[in-house]
């Protein structure tokens, strides 16, 4: 008679945690991109975006990472 055991290794838990983290990022992307569509010109200016940039980011699929842009003269990058 053959018995089977579940293959529960330490990495199986790590894979679950990694998958959960990816799903959280995707959900956040979907939520924030939907919010970008509703911001006023003044609100976009406050966060340093143009309407075209916000619309471009809002059109991205939830699984796509945000575009990176550099702040002029500051040497910093921000994820859109």
- Taking the domains of the chain in order of start, what are their residue ranges? 19-62
Alpha-carbon span 55 to 42, nearest angstrom: 15
Rg of the chain on CA atoms, in Å: 20
Give pLDDT tens digits for 9-64.
556 788 899 999 999 999 999 999 999 999 999 999 999 999 999 999 999 999 99
1 pLDDT band, cuts 50/70/90, is low
Q: What is the pTM of this model?
A: 0.60
Alpha-carbon span 53 to 57, nearest angstrom: 6
Q: Residue 60 carries which DSSP code?
A: S
């Amino acid at each position: 008679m053959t018995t089977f055991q579940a293959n529960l290794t330490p990495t199986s838990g790590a894979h679950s945690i990694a998958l959960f983290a990816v799903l959280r990022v995707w959900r956040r992307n979907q939520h924030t991109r939907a919010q970008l569509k509703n911001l006023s010109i003044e609100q976009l200016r406050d966060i340093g975006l143009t309407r075209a940039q916000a619309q471009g980011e809002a059109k991205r699929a939830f699984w796509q990472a945000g575009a990176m842009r550099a702040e002029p003269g500051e040497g910093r990058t921000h994820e859109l």
